[in-house]
Amino acid sequence: MTKFTKMGKCSQVIIVCIAGFGISASHADEIRLQTQSDFGQLDPAFWQSSADQTIIDAIFPKLIEFKSGSNWEWELSAAETIEQIDPLTINFTLKKGLMWTGDYGEVTAEDVEYSFERYIDKDLAAPNSGDWAPLKDVEVVDKYSGVIHFNEPFAPVWWSTLPYTGGAIISKAATEAIGGTFSTEPGATAGPYKIEKWDQGQQTVLVAHEGWNGEKPAYDRVILVPINDAKSAEVAFEAGQIDVSGVAVSSVPEMKANMPVDSILEVRPTAGYFWLGLNAENPSLQDVRVRQAITKAVDVDAIIEGAYFGIPERSTGLVAPGLIGYSEEQQPNRDIEGARKLLAEAGISSLDLELELQNSTDEQTTGLIIQANLAEIGINVQLNTHESGTFWSLGDEKGVGMQMTLKAFTSPPDPAWSTQWFLEGQAGIWNWEWFKSEEYEKLHYAAISETDFGKRAEIYHEMQDIMDASHSFVWLIHPPASLIYKDSINPGLLPNGDYKLHAFAPAE
Amino acid sequence: MIGYAVQRIGVAILIVLLATTALFVMIQFVPGDPANVMLGPRATPELKEALRERLHLNDSVFVQIYYFFAGLLQGDLGVDLTSNRPVVSILAEQAPYTAMLVISVLLVALMGIPIGTYAAVHRGGSFDQISGVISVSIIAVPPIVIGLYLILVFAIQLRWLPAIGAGEGFWAVIKHLILPTLAIGLTWIGYVSRLVRASVIEVLMQNHVKTARAFGIPENKILRRYVLRVALPATVTVLGVSIGFILSTAVIVEILFSRPGIGKLTYDAVISRNYPVVMGAVLASTVFIVVATTLSDLLNVMLDPRSQDINS
């Protein structure tokens, strides 16, 4: 044996020996999940990212919560009963025996009162105050019962407030003891899980909370691993280091063709929406015929095929499938001749426009397809690619100077959160189309107050029709959430692919 | 020697101050409002304005620099805009991961010394030729590509080593360090070996080595005492300077391997416009680089006192 062969053997043995220690595969009662980022804010009135949301939903109780599955339906959680008495009143009774961590005793109606009323506390200045904007107060009837009073009817309370992160209940005593607010270290928690350890940037370890009075979670420990690069997350999954991971849409076809062993791939539409926006205030796009020509010339099916591998369905508006107000009526199909005719009527033979977009692969491919589509009708498109921080500041930087933008918004499962960005007051802030419609404004507020499901759906259909009539929007897709997980796991997922940690269980 | 050390430390402090000030000025030109990023779309304009006031974002760059250095003197680098945690605490948690990575890369790079020396002594031999081809080939491959292949082979195919994270406990930490270290370090083994080979060949041809041979001193002793002692200072300087390159490569490698550390922290903070963290992380990196280059200069002077005159 030569010296080099010996050295080679030696290093191989060392690597194998080292590899034998500290293998990070999950134990039977433990599950490791990838999150896109680390959490940063656990105060429900201040949460920002989906990682914040995932942990808040696991460590704080809620009166009601969404069921895992493919439909947006809620079920009782900390509440034993809850009932809308009239459009301005909701009665609730808590289950007994739900305990806070530490020495803070039971979860009571006073905690509910404190948790919800702090949203409307001007001194707290919570960025998520909109979750409870019409709240008047919460009346404590006894230790376990209370009444939620509203100043005006508030339909989203059953969709994007109570069962969502805004419905999280925090401990009054524990929070007051730490000054009335917190970021990463709540005074006490009472959800199905509690935080055992947080190594910032590396992992968050949650363990089952012994004071939880609901169904015991199937996994005693949940380890959340922040990996923001989708490809790295896929690699970590394939290397067996995590059990559930997000998958880049671009990886889905390849993964389907070469599925890692004992794995399941799942793709779900989210409540978010991705569209091409045309700024009606920009001099080059003020003529509605020009905007209409662009909407006719863009080949949405080619974008879905070319940039998203045919995975998502074509979007019909800003309301995603499964949500109240979803419309099945698509925008008209591509019509190049019609587009040319409209441009000719507008007296335009050639036009230079700029398209602002982010630097992800799928958005850049979308931009290239739009560029090619519009070239066919004599519009030269310059693609301005930005990283996310720069892109989202364009409203301030460019103002009315913006012409076309590719934008994706996420949304809680209530259309009111989507429609609010296109109010006139949002022009230049988040409404980069400078879309303005008095009728739309009236309908937006009417829909929030409308507690009749059918009538509310009708209002949202009408609002989407008004948006389409402006020819400022080309609806593309509802960005899909793709996940891969081991087939030994039955994942606890909300309809949009978000984790519901205490619903994860071993597959039967 | 003491005077030289004092002079080097003075220069080091000046470099840190200038680099920090330059970064502060550059940040002013980066588009993107931290208040938007921190508070999200649902915050009211009043709330955003209050945050800008609290962070002194509405003040002139000079006022902001003043607040930064005033805080720095008290050991306060501000708070993370997302979690409200002190930046100093975050840096204290993250810096050891990067320090471990850099030190392990430097240790791996030292493997280039015996390789380069052996190749120089047996110049033109098969080891020299093979090591030459491998070294140059590895130098030409970017660390991210090496990292990807290492992951594919050792993490996915063989499942010997982890693809992500930093591990807990001594052995897990070592295990999690191997692939990131090799991703960066292999290039440096090649680079150092070529550098040492060239230096040793040059020294081997010098008169003092020929004289030592004429006196019948054994080759091993000549190599250790008369050749390497002269040839190595250049390598030490390169390794000192290389810390800057290793740190910049660590950003990519920490992202690729999802390792915590200053590099990943800086990247995430820049993306989210978390300026207090950006400033703290860059300050930590600058201090790290300046300390390393200063130490390498001092070590150089210890190995070869003549270099003190050249450096001065």
Interface test with B, best of A3, A18, A53, A390 (most B CBs within 10 A): A18
Contact A18 B273 (CB under 8 A): no
Which residues of chain A are within 8 Å of residue B80 when distances are taken between CB atoms? 40
Quick one: closest CA in B to A387, which residue? B271
Distance from CA of B230 to the nearest CA of A (A): 29
Counting the structural domains of chain A, the total is 3
Which residues of chain B are within 8 Å of residue A390 when distances are taken between CB atoms? 30-32
Is residue B83 domain-resident? no
B139-195 pLDDT per residue, tens: 888 888 999 999 999 998 898 999 888 888 899 999 999 999 999 999 999 999 999
Do B152 and B33 sit in the same domain of this protein?
no
Q: ipTM score of the complex? A: 0.76
DSSP 3-state of A239? coil
Do B275 and B246 sit in the same domain of this protein?
yes
- CATH code where residue A417 lies: 3.10.105.10
pLDDT by residue, tens only, chain A of 508 residues? 444 445 445 445 444 444 444 444 455 699 999 998 899 899 999 998 899 999 999 999 999 999 999 899 999 999 999 999 999 999 999 999 999 999 999 999 999 999 999 999 988 888 888 899 999 999 999 999 999 999 999 999 999 999 999 999 999 999 999 999 999 999 999 999 999 999 988 899 999 999 999 999 999 999 999 998 888 899 899 999 999 999 988 888 888 888 988 999 999 888 899 999 999 999 999 999 999 999 999 999 999 999 999 999 999 999 999 899 999 888 889 999 999 999 999 999 889 999 999 998 899 999 999 999 999 999 999 999 998 878 888 888 888 899 999 999 988 899 998 999 999 988 988 899 999 999 999 999 999 999 899 999 999 999 999 999 999 999 999 999 999 999 999 999 999 999 999 999 999 7
What region, left, alpha or beta, does residue A55 occupy, with left being phi > 0 and alpha being psi -120 to 50 degrees?
alpha
What pLDDT shows up at residue B255? 87
Do B239 and B150 sit in the same domain of this protein?
yes
Distance from CA of B159 to the nearest CA of A (A): 6
Contact B174 A200 (CB under 8 A): no
**How far is the C-alpha of A37 from the C-alpha of B260, rounded, in Å?**
12
What pLDDT shows up at residue B129? 92
Distance from CA of B259 to the nearest CA of A (A): 7
- CATH code where residue B218 lies: 1.10.3720.10
Contact B258 A389 (CB under 8 A): no
Quick one: closest CA in A to B29, which residue? A390
Do B166 and B236 sit in the same domain of this protein?
yes
Quick one: closest CA in B to A392, which residue? B32
- Residues β-bridged to residue A409: A273
Quick one: closest CA in B to A133, which residue? B42
Least CB-CB distance to A389: which of B37, B46, B47?
B37
B203-230 pLDDT per residue, tens: 888 888 889 888 888 888 888 888 888 8
Query: Could you tell me what percentage of chain A is helix, strand and coil, using 3-state DSSP and rounding each to the nearest 5?
Result: 35, 25, 40
Quick one: closest CA in B to A18, which residue? B175
**How far is the C-alpha of A224 from the C-alpha of A64, rounded, in Å?**
24
Contact B260 A183 (CB under 8 A): no
Counting the structural domains of chain B, the total is 2
Mean pLDDT for B49-58 is: 80
Chosen domain end from A162, A184, A206: A184
A243 and A33 Cβ atoms separated by less than 8 Å: yes
Give the domain range for residue B65: 2-73
What pLDDT shows up at residue A26? 54
Do A196 and A296 sit in the same domain of this protein?
no
Do B66 and B123 sit in the same domain of this protein?
no
Residues whose CB falls within 8 Å of the CB of residue B299, separated by 6 or more in sequence, listed in order: B236, B240
Do B9 and B65 sit in the same domain of this protein?
yes
Which residues of chain A are within 8 Å of residue B271 when distances are taken between CB atoms? 387-389
Do B40 and B158 sit in the same domain of this protein?
no
Is residue B80 domain-resident? no
Do A381 and A458 sit in the same domain of this protein?
yes
Is residue B57 domain-resident? yes
Instruction: Please state the pTM of the whole predicted model.
Output: 0.84
Quick one: closest CA in B to A13, which residue? B160
Contact A200 B33 (CB under 8 A): no
Q: What would the DSSP string read from start to end of A377-440?
A: TTEEEEEEEE-HHHHTTHHHHTGGG--EEEEEE---SSTHHHHGGGSGGGBTTTBTT----HHH
Q: Within A156-221, where are the H helices?
A: 172-177
Do B28 and B139 sit in the same domain of this protein?
no
- CATH code where residue A157 lies: 3.90.76.10
Which residues of chain B are within 8 Å of residue A202 when distances are taken between CB atoms? 165-166, 260
B234-280 pLDDT per residue, tens: 787 788 778 888 888 888 899 889 899 998 898 888 887 888 899 89
Both tokens of B26, joined, read 């550059």
How many CB pairs below 8 A link A and B? 140
Do B35 and B59 sit in the same domain of this protein?
yes
Which residues of chain A are within 8 Å of residue B260 when distances are taken between CB atoms? 199-202
Do A349 and A420 sit in the same domain of this protein?
yes
Contact A127 B93 (CB under 8 A): no
Contact B165 A397 (CB under 8 A): no
Give the domain range for residue A111: 58-184
Do A97 and A63 sit in the same domain of this protein?
yes
What pLDDT shows up at residue B272? 79
Which residues of chain B are within 8 Å of residue A122 when distances are taken between CB atoms? none
